[in-house]
Structure 1
Amino acid sequence: MRTMTVGLIADTHVPQRMERLPPQVAEIFRGVALILHAGDLNRWPVLDELARLAPVVAVKGNADIGLRLPWQEVVEINGIRIGLTHGHGGWPIYLRNKIREATIGFEPLRYLRYARFAFREPVHLIVSGHTHRPHLVCVNGVWLVNPGPVAPDYYVQRGPAVGLLHVKPGDLRYEWVDLSTGRVRDWALPIG
């Protein structure tokens, strides 16, 4: 099987934070097999714009009021199961976590809540958004990836940024791309 490249994007917030996607997104995603949007797109035209590049799977974020999207999806590519969620887990979980964060701080819950609330079935990797902070961490053998936001000037962030996931059977490679500088960071993600 050949390597499949998947574009990862989250927190576009169009038109809340910008009128349309930056042109670098189309440049970076040119030739990808699939695009995964981890929520907070705000309006449907974002998906239409991305769909001109490749098929899109998207989930609903907490700022996607009125959009008929699922809260989570699982996509299998070359035998690798990828979970997609915004990361807040739906409004009841989002509100419960906000109360906890206010009382005990954000750091202890930031990664574990994705693994705990997102998927009951086994996945190799979970793609999320919501925090507006890029991360790549392995928790209990599951890779948690947040490419960071595309929307500018929103919380504390690096970026704007997107990700590329290169998937072949039993092998994953992740590239994080800073849209403002063009800087790319690359990691091999052991599966097992």
Structure 2
Amino acid sequence: MAAMRILIFGDTHIPERADEIPREFTDYLVDFDMVVITGDLTSERVLRFAERVAESVIAVRGNMDDLPLPHSAKFRVEGLSFGVVHGHQVYPRGNREQLEQIALEMDVDVLISGHTHLPDVYRGAKILLNPGSMTGVWGGGAYSTYPSFMVLEVKKGSFRGSLYRLLDEEVTVEQFSF
């Protein structure tokens, strides 16, 4: 049985801060079973893109979204439970202790969040994943980031992941597994 492939991205801020998803990512954005979006799409166009990439799309509302999306979501894949929030519920941004508390309250194995625009992979009491910003736009801090997204391959209660980043017009891939 093949692993379930999940594309995870967020914080695109299209069209306010970016015009589109980087073209360099195009070849990597195919053949997914599910897309998970961590919020701050800011346009329905990004949601339509996700629907073309996979039949199943889970998207949550970010602090910059006007789209009628839920503030959180839960789903199960291959025996693992996942939660999704934007992350603006946490201060300071990306606070792992508070994110783990949200994961405990949601009763999930893995919490996927965004808002920081910086990718993060962390295993503590819970697994925390943040794909960063798909467009690499400014996110409220004093810096811009590199465009990034994640892909998970989930099979029989475990998963391996890949963090894709666009660095100097070249896509780099970093692997992780749990």
Q: Give the TM-score taking structure 2 as reference length.
A: 0.88
- Classify 1:70/1:134 alpha carbon distance in 2 versus 1 (closer, same or farther; 3 Å): same
Kindly provide the amino acid, as one letter, of the partner of residue 126 in structure 1: L
State the partner residue of 1:110: 95
1:151 pairs, out of 130, 135, 151, with 135
State the partner residue of 1:184: 173
CA RMSD of aligned residues (A): 1.8
Deviation at 1:61, TM superposition (A): 0.4
* Cα contact 1:174–1:186 (8 A) shared by 2: yes
Greater CA radius of gyration, 1 or 2? Answer: 1
Identity rate, percent: 28
SS in 1 for 2:53: coil
Deviation at 1:20, TM superposition (A): 2.2
Matched, 1:78 2:74: no
Matched, 1:20 2:5: no
Kindly provide the amino acid, as one letter, of the partner of residue 51 in structure 1: E
User: What is the aligned length?
Assistant: 172
Summarize deviations over 1:17-75 as a string: whole Å, max 9, x none.
112222344421200110100001011111001211113110000010x2110010011
Structure-2 separation of matches of 1:164 and 1:19: 23
Q: Which runs of 4+ in 1 moved over 6 A?
A: none
- 3-12 or 80-89, which deviates more: 80-89
- 117-126 or 174-183, which deviates more: 117-126
Structure-2 separation of matches of 1:41 and 1:173: 25
1:169 pairs, out of 156, 169, 177, with 156
State the partner residue of 2:67: 67
* Cα contact 1:85–1:118 (8 A) shared by 2: no
Deviation at 1:135, TM superposition (A): 0.6
State the partner residue of 2:59: 58
Deviation at 1:110, TM superposition (A): 1.4
